[in-house]
């Protein structure tokens, strides 16, 4: 039976081949592996305490031992995850309890104890069986879960999400510079308005998204690690003379997270909610971009590259639909609906804890998966764009009424009474052409107060040169490269070159 054909949702169905990186961080396999990772690092930290805990003094954390312990999660395989799932739901896995635990974290604990038992048969590892009860020592499940999720999210954002978003921004930034001097008819309320530049309108989105990325990166990734109700009760009663707060802080800091100092049984999720809200804001901006590009395409200002064999409509062979931008908009929307629920729900838990956060947090990968699908679609759509400068120019020069603002502003500068009203009477609701604007300026020669050089300057105004200021500023590459891992930088930059610096199309359309 095909997994993709029978998947309930599109992330594990039609989009599955595009989401391996998301799966690497948020699948059930990944969640179990991250749990093993946190449990092992906690166990290693206990073994490494100085002075050693009396019961652990005989087991020295040698480099060989540490390598083997970390190998449990570094070499974690499907068969290991299956062992954990069998222990949780059925029982009877090799070396595990005969009955189901019906508890996911306890099953992970049993898995690690089983692996320690196996390792104890190796030379120099014999005493591991004596200390295996220090696996998960003094902890509650949420110490593990509330460290796993922020760690999963942190790694995903750094290695997958931000590099992909940086790629989108680099493409937009390159387009903004390429089209920096292309005049464009602006539309406010859907009506012709003062001209702008195509490059500047694209750059608006670069600035908006870059600002939100910086806000996103300021949100700390936090862990709750403090025992059953956040007070390290079990640790204190077992070893009251040890500084367990400093111990836990160092452990969590070593994992790349910040430890929350005052919690209930669970993380309060406030910072995670802020992260989801920040992601949602970026998605909203990208929806805005998708709709604008879609509109420009519908106006004929952009054409799209075609691909042999592709079909735009089952009934209308001529169509080249803006499906990538529509797909992006739809997936960003689904992502935002779930992100909003996560940020609204997770910070709420009855008293010291209820279980609602557990079932909800398991869906963290779903909106991020839809976000990645949307980003891929956005990149694909941007890569097809061909700016039709002839169409852009024709659209602009068909609306000489947009020069009215320029003319009346100059007249007001010259203190001509009723300048605004003069232009309003001439242009509002009327068909305004270059000729009608010229006739209006000709009439101004009768005004004794208007100098001839001023009239000459008015004649020089046209829709294509009344575009104001726009300086693209410093290129985005250096900023974007800081978001890319060394592994992904080359591939990302090559993709940008392929999408943005390709050959120019014919018929007035340019990439």
Which candidate, 148, 128, 281, places its Cα nearest to that of 222? Answer: 148
Task: Give the integer Cα–Cα distance in Å for 396 and 402.
Answer: 9
- Is 313 in the active site? yes
Element (DSSP H or E) covering residue 145: helix 141-156
Catalytic: which of 298, 313, 457, 498? Answer: 313
Rounded Cα distance between 19 and 84, Å, is 24
Q: CA-to-CA distance for 99 and 88, rounded, in angstroms?
A: 9
- DSSP assignment, residue 188? E
Say if strands 191-197 and 222-223 run parallel, antiparallel, or are unpaired. unpaired
The CB density around residue 160, as the number of other CB atoms within 10 Å, is 21
Token pair 């390792």 is at which residue?
119
Nearest residue to 85 (alpha-carbon basis) of 31, 25, 139? 31
| DSSP state string for 268-318 | --HHHHHHHHHHHHHHHHHHHHHHHHHHHHHTTSEEE---TT--S-SS-TT
Crossing angle for the helix pair 434-444 and 404-413, nearest 10 degrees?
10
According to DSSP, the residues that pair with 304 across neighbouring strands are 385
Across the strands, what pairs with 258?
222
**Cβ neighbours, 10 Å, residue 205:** 21
Please say whether the beta carbons of 56 and 46 come within 8 A.
Answer: yes
List the catalytic residue out of 6, 189, 314, 318.
189
Which of these, 373, 381, 382, lies nearest to 330 by C-alpha position? Answer: 373
Distances (CA, A) of 358 to 130, 133, 351: 33, 26, 15
Two tokens at 107? 């099953």
Strand duo 258-259 + 302-304: pairing: unpaired
DSSP string, 316-331: -TT----HHHHHHHHH
Known catalytic residues are 189, 313
């Amino acid at each position: 039976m095909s997994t993709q054909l029978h998947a309930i949702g599109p992330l594990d169905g039609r989009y599955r081949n595009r989401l391996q990186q998301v799966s690497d961080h948020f699948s059930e396999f990944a969640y179990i592996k991250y749990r093993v990772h946190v449990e092992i690092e906690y166990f290693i930290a206990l073994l490494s305490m100085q002075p050693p805990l009396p019961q652990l003094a005989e087991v020295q954390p040698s480099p060989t031992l540490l390598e083997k312990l970390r190998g449990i999660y570094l070499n974690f395989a499907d068969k290991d995850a299956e062992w954990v799932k069998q222990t949780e739901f059925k029982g009877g896995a090799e070396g595990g309890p005969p009955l189901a635990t019906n508890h996911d974290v306890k099953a992970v604990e049993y898995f690690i104890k089983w692996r320690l038992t196996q390792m104890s048969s190796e030379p120099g590892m014999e005493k591991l069986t004596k200390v295996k009860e220090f696996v998960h020592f003094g902890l509650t499940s949420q110490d593990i879960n509330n460290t796993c999720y922020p760690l999963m999210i942190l790694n995903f954002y750094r290695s997958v999400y931000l590099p992909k978003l940086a790629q989108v921004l680099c493409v937009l930034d390159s387009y903004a510079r390429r089209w920096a001097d292309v005049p464009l008819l602006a539309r406010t309320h859907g009506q012709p308005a003062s001209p702008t530049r195509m490059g500047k309108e694209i750059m608006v989105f670069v600035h908006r998204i870059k600002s939100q990325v910086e806000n996103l990166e300021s949100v700390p990734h936090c862990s709750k690690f403090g025992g059953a109700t956040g007070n390290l009760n079990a640790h204190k009663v077992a070893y009251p003379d040890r500084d367990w707060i400093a111990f836990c802080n160092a452990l969590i800091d070593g994992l790349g997270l910040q430890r929350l100092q005052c919690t209930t049984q669970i993380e309060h999720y406030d910072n995670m909610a802020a992260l989801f809200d920040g992601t949602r804001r970026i998605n909203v901006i990208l929806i805005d971009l998708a709709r604008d590009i879609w509109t420009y395409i519908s106006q004929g200002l952009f054409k799209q590259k075609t691909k042999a064999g592709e079909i735009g409509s089952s009934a209308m062979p001529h169509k080249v639909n803006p499906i990538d931008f529509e797909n992006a908009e739809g997936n960003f929307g689904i992502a935002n609906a779930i992100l909003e629920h996560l940020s609204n729900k997770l910070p709420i838990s009855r008293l010291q804890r209820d279980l609602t956060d557990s079932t909800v947090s398991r869906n963290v990968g779903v909106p991020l998966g839809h976000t990645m699908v949307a980003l891929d679609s956005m990149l694909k759509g941007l890569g097809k764009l061909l700016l039709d400068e002839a169409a852009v120019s024709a659209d602009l020069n068909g609306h000489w009424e947009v020069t009215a603002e320029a003319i009346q502003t100059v007249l007001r500068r010259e203190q001509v009474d009723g300048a605004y009203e003069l232009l309003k009477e001439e242009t509002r609701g009327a068909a305004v052409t270059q000729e009608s604007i010229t006739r209006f300026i000709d009439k101004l020669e009768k005004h004794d107060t208007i100098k001839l050089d001023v009239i000459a300057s008015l004649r020089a105004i046209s829709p294509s040169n009344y575009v104001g200021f726009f300086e693209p500023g410093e290129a985005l590459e250096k900023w974007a490269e800081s978001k890319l891992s060394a592994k992904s930088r080359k591939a990302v930059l090559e993709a940008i070159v392929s999408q943005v610096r390709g050959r120019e199309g014919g018929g007035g359309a340019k990439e």
